[in-house]
Amino acid sequence: MTTVTRAAPTLLTSPGARLVGKRLLMAVPIVIGVSIVTFWVLNLIPGSAAQQLLGPEATPAQIQALEARLGLDRPAPVRYLAWLGGAVTGDLGTSLVSGQPVAGLLGERLAVSGELVMLAFVISLGLALPVALLAAHRPGRLFDRVSMLVSITGLSVANYVLALLLVLVFAVELALFPAIGFVPLTESVGGNLQGMALPAAAIAFPLFCFYTRFLRGDLVDQLQGEDYIVTARAKGIGPWQVLLRHAFRNSAFGLITVVGLNLGTLIGATVIIEQIFALPGIGQLMLQAINTRDFVVVQACVVLFAVVAVVANLLADLLYAVLDPRIRYGSR
Amino acid sequence: MAVAEVAPTVLRYRLRYLDVLVPATVIAVVVLACLVGPALFALPEPTGGDVLESYMPALSPGHLLGTDPNGNDTLSRLLHGGRSSLLVAVAVNLLGLVVGGTLGAVSGHVGGLTDTVIMRLLDVLIAFPSLVLTLAVAQSLGPSRTNTILALAFFSVPAFARIARAATLRLRELPFMVAGQLCGTPTPRILLRHVAPNIAPQLITFGMLGMGIVIVIEGALSFLGLGIPPPAPSWGNMISQGQQSLSATPSLVVWPCLTLFVTVLAFNLLGEALRARWSGR
């Protein structure tokens, strides 16, 4: 063991600040790597975008002219660097199909996808916390068993399967919610929420199952194996107090990480759900762009998805460090 | 008293294996049905049906589960689609197990710069929402079964690599590993003879969960028209096709959904049961 003499921490040298800096530095190359992979993958597309835009009857000369106009004749690394330079300054290029600036297209649709993700997130976490706490309160009892059975079942339902079943039951049979049809939030809050209810539920249910399983498992581990729980119980604290004030506080750290990691999956799920419910979000934009080979838009969407996932991970990491002194002062 | 004490023990002994046996049986039934079912029951071909026989209800003569808008037998399409789904899932997980497992084991065992480089590269892939990346890859390569497998392997390889690395790191300080290195055993041999057998159970357990995940994502790709190209059936494109007449003939969506769900549930339950077994020791 080496002894380290620590100077009195200031804002810049405090372990927390150093950790934030380190994680931020790690996130930058990941985002750049993601954009390189995306660019490379999209460059594999057989048949150039110009060919696709002009249709099958275009002459080679026409294709060449359009490629030159769009800058597609330059070598890939040059195009990538030009794109990166633009992206850093907020210019994501213009759509090959509609000619609109991509940044503007994304902005409109980000609100829809963002609302969907936030709703799903609030519903799933809001339900998972009480259910997991109740299940962990008495592990092995009826409530615990039923909730675990429901959650493993829910984890096996693909979200698109769930979405269609929800449509079948609530839109076709009961006619409680519209199957498709998006009302902007600015037009009517009630109508907007009604349209968002089924898609949000389809994303939220598998997530709820995942969070419930995770939190319940972690809580039970804490309650059964940890010394501080024994101490708390020996002091005569009631079972709910032990669960909420002691075990849950510790388990919450793990949950934060899982939630952060999961946000990536969550936004991936919006692609297919937006398609089913015809919601004008980022996922729908990306699918349309994929089908029209508008790779400028696809590139922007994929990078945006990845950036959100990386940032969510980063935030989870940081929150974890801020809340848990063991990590902040840990050896890493 | 004695009887009352013995009976629960026997019962418990039997129950101990149920968590593995039940899902394993379901998987075996699904796999067998998909592989030999169409030949065994002399089902019609899954494609090229007669349009005059479209939208037949379940229990129609010759069509147990009815027919789809093109007059193809639903049961036949379900089983042939299952072949595709299972083949893709097995291939993707095998690729992940072998390539990812090797990368992870090398990374964890060798450490140092190799470890840093491999893990940072994989971090980039893990940062992608898996469906988004596979969509982009599938579109670039064009929809086909091989390309679906390649696209999905993009995310199975890093996942397996992470697990293999973590498992390898736990082995590093164990006496037999230290002994192996002190004897001067070459690294490839250590990896093959000492690391591989010890990390295999965890990787295979993850592979069971991975089967479920891949079946779901392959379904999603096919559902969006970027996986198995129609008219060849897959559970995903059957759901997608059935969605167009959801209110009129919901059964066209319900059957593939149900099959997909049961299969994925069985793989998840088996994975969970195996995991509980390994962590319980």
**Band of pLDDT at residue B13, cut at 50, 70 and 90:** low
Using the structure block, give the residue that is written with the tokens 């990078």: A303
For residue B106, give the nearest of B19, B38, B195 by alpha carbon: B195
Reduced to 3 states, what is the DSSP secondary structure of residue B48?
Answer: coil
Quick one: closest CA in A to B258, which residue? A161
pLDDT digits (tens, 9 = 90+) for A163-177: 888 888 887 777 777
Mutant choice from A26, A155, A160, A213 vs B, greatest count of B C-beta within 10 A? A160
| Better pLDDT: B127 or A134 | A134
CA torsion sign, B97 to B90 to B120 to A206? negative
What one-letter code names the amino acid at A115?
Answer: E
> How far apart, in whole angstroms, are the C-alpha atoms of residue A193 and residue B32?
45
Mutant choice from A156, A257, A303 vs B, greatest count of B C-beta within 10 A? A156
DSSP result, B142-170: -SSHHHHHHHHHHHHHHHHHHHHHHHHHH
Residues 6+ apart with CB under 8 A from A321: A16, A19, A20, A327, A328
> How far apart, in whole angstroms, are the C-alpha atoms of residue A178 and residue B87?
37
Could you tell me if residue A318 is inside a domain?
no
Mutant choice from A34, A45, A164 vs B, greatest count of B C-beta within 10 A? A164
Residues A279 and A152 occupy one common structural domain: yes
| Cβ contacts from A onto B, under 8 A | 124
Q: Are B74 and B68 in contact (CB under 8 A)?
A: yes
Residues A204 and A263 occupy one common structural domain: yes
> How far apart, in whole angstroms, are the C-alpha atoms of residue B264 and residue B273?
14
For residue A224, give the nearest of A206, A250, A201, A205 by alpha carbon: A250
DSSP B174: S
Taking contacts as CB-CB distances below 8 angstroms, the residues of chain A near B212 are 156
User: Worst-scoring range by mean pLDDT, A51-55, A109-113, B70-74?
Assistant: A51-55
Residues A230 and A188 occupy one common structural domain: yes
Give the model's pLDDT for residue B95: 92
Q: Which two structure tokens, joined as six digits, stand for A332?
A: 């890493």
Give the CATH number for residue A152.
Answer: 1.10.3720.10
Q: What are phi and psi of B63, to 5 degrees?
A: -130, 90
CA–chain centroid gap for B232, Å, is: 20
Reduced to 3 states, what is the DSSP secondary structure of residue B76?
Answer: helix
Closest CB to A37: pick one of B124, B223, B226.
B124
Could you tell me if residue A8 is inside a domain?
no
For residue A291, give the nearest of A85, A45, A77, A58 by alpha carbon: A45
User: Worst-scoring range by mean pLDDT, A176-185, A259-268, B78-87, B263-272?
Assistant: A176-185
Mutant choice from A44, A161, A174, A310 vs B, greatest count of B C-beta within 10 A? A161
What percentage of residues in chain B have a pLDDT greater than 90? 3
Using the structure block, give the residue that is written with the tokens 């319980």: B280
Reduced to 3 states, what is the DSSP secondary structure of residue B73?
Answer: strand
pLDDT of B221 higher than 70: yes
Residue range(s) defining the domain that contains residue A238:
108-291
What's the total number of domains in chain A? 2
> How far apart, in whole angstroms, are the C-alpha atoms of residue B280 and residue B201?
13
Closest CB to A156: pick one of B132, B142, B212.
B212
Average pLDDT over residues B207-235: 83
Mutant choice from B117, B130, B140 vs A, greatest count of A C-beta within 10 A? B140
Question: How does B185-215 read in b/e, with b if 16+ C-beta sit within 10 Å?
Answer: eeeeebbeebbbebbeebbbbbbbbbbbbbb
Taking contacts as CB-CB distances below 8 angstroms, the residues of chain A near B269 are 152
What are B60's strand-pairing partners?
Answer: B63
What one-letter code names the amino acid at A155?
Answer: L
Average pLDDT over residues A19-23: 75
Residues A152 and A235 occupy one common structural domain: yes
pTM: 0.79
> How far apart, in whole angstroms, are the C-alpha atoms of residue A14 and residue A215?
31
DSSP B194: I
Average pLDDT over residues A278-282: 85
Give the model's pLDDT for residue A326: 67
Give the model's pLDDT for residue B91: 92
Inter-chain contact A264–B127, Cβ cutoff 8 Å?
A: yes
Residues A78 and A113 occupy one common structural domain: no
Inter-chain contact A152–B269, Cβ cutoff 8 Å?
A: yes
Could you tell me if residue A94 is inside a domain?
no
**Band of pLDDT at residue B37, cut at 50, 70 and 90:** confident
CA–chain centroid gap for A81, Å, is: 27
Could you tell me if residue A269 is inside a domain?
yes
Q: How many C-beta neighbours within 10 Å does residue A42 have?
A: 21
For B14-19, the CB contacts below 8 A with 24+ separation are: B19/B269, B19/B272, B19/B273, B19/B276
Using the structure block, give the residue that is written with the tokens 């919450």: A252
User: Worst-scoring range by mean pLDDT, A314-323, B172-181, B200-209, B268-277?
Assistant: A314-323
> How far apart, in whole angstroms, are the C-alpha atoms of residue B127 and residue B155?
10
Residues A127 and A27 occupy one common structural domain: no
Could you tell me if residue A83 is inside a domain?
yes
pLDDT of B84 higher than 80: yes
Quick one: closest CA in B to A261, which residue? B127
Inter-chain contact B136–A45, Cβ cutoff 8 Å?
A: no
Inter-chain contact A272–B131, Cβ cutoff 8 Å?
A: yes
Residues 6+ apart with CB under 8 A from A15: A9, A328, A329
| Better pLDDT: B199 or B45 | B199
Using only C-alpha atoms, what is the Rg of chain B?
A: 23
Q: How far is B216 from chain A (nearest CA, A)?
A: 6
Its ipTM equals: 0.75
Residues A60 and A164 occupy one common structural domain: no
Give the model's pLDDT for residue B1: 43
Residues A208 and A256 occupy one common structural domain: yes
What one-letter code names the amino acid at A223?
Answer: L
Report chain A's mean pLDDT, rounded to a whole number: 77
Question: Looking at B118-268, which runs of residues are DSSP E strands?
Answer: none
Residues A61 and A117 occupy one common structural domain: no
Average pLDDT over residues B239-252: 76
Average pLDDT over residues A286-303: 81
Give the model's pLDDT for residue A45: 60
Q: Which two structure tokens, joined as six digits, stand for A252?
A: 């919450």
Could you tell me if residue A326 is inside a domain?
no
**Band of pLDDT at residue B90, cut at 50, 70 and 90:** very high
Closest CB to A268: pick one of B132, B243, B253.
B132
Residues A72 and A123 occupy one common structural domain: no
Q: How far is B185 from chain A (nearest CA, A)?
A: 30
pLDDT of B222 higher than 80: yes
pLDDT of A186 higher than 80: no
**Band of pLDDT at residue A331, cut at 50, 70 and 90:** very low
pLDDT digits (tens, 9 = 90+) for B163-196: 888 888 888 778 888 888 888 778 788 788 878 8
Residues 6+ apart with CB under 8 A from B25: none
Inter-chain contact B239–A310, Cβ cutoff 8 Å?
A: no
Q: Which of A38, A56, A88 is the last residue of a domain?
A: A88
Residues A77 and A134 occupy one common structural domain: no
Closest CB to A165: pick one of B140, B247, B257.
B257
Closest CB to A161: pick one of B129, B130, B257.
B257
Residues A153 and A68 occupy one common structural domain: no
Closest CB to B129: pick one of A45, A168, A268.
A268
pLDDT of B75 higher than 50: yes
Residues 6+ apart with CB under 8 A from A332: none
Give the model's pLDDT for residue B99: 92
Taking contacts as CB-CB distances below 8 angstroms, the residues of chain B near A272 are 131, 220, 223-224
Report chain B's mean pLDDT, rounded to a whole number: 79
Could you tell me if residue A123 is inside a domain?
yes
Q: How far is A214 from chain B (nearest CA, A)?
A: 13
Inter-chain contact B133–A302, Cβ cutoff 8 Å?
A: yes
Q: What are phi and psi of B186, to 5 degrees?
A: -65, 145
pLDDT digits (tens, 9 = 90+) for B113-156: 888 888 878 877 776 766 777 777 777 777 778 888 888 888 78
Q: Which two structure tokens, joined as six digits, stand for B90?
A: 């097995």
Q: Output the CA angle B185-B187-B193, nearest 5 degrees.
A: 75
Q: How many C-beta neighbours within 10 Å does residue A225 have?
A: 9
Q: Output the CA angle A53-A56-A60, nearest 5 degrees.
A: 85
Q: Output the CA angle A25-A26-A32, nearest 5 degrees.
A: 95
Could you tell me if residue A209 is inside a domain?
yes
Inter-chain contact A152–B216, Cβ cutoff 8 Å?
A: no
Residues 6+ apart with CB under 8 A from A190: none
pLDDT of B93 higher than 60: yes
Chain B residues whose C-beta is within 8 A of a chain A C-beta are 120-121, 123-125, 127-133, 135-137, 139-142, 212, 216, 219-220, 223-224, 226, 239, 243, 246-247, 250, 253-254, 257, 260-261, 264-265, 268-269, 272
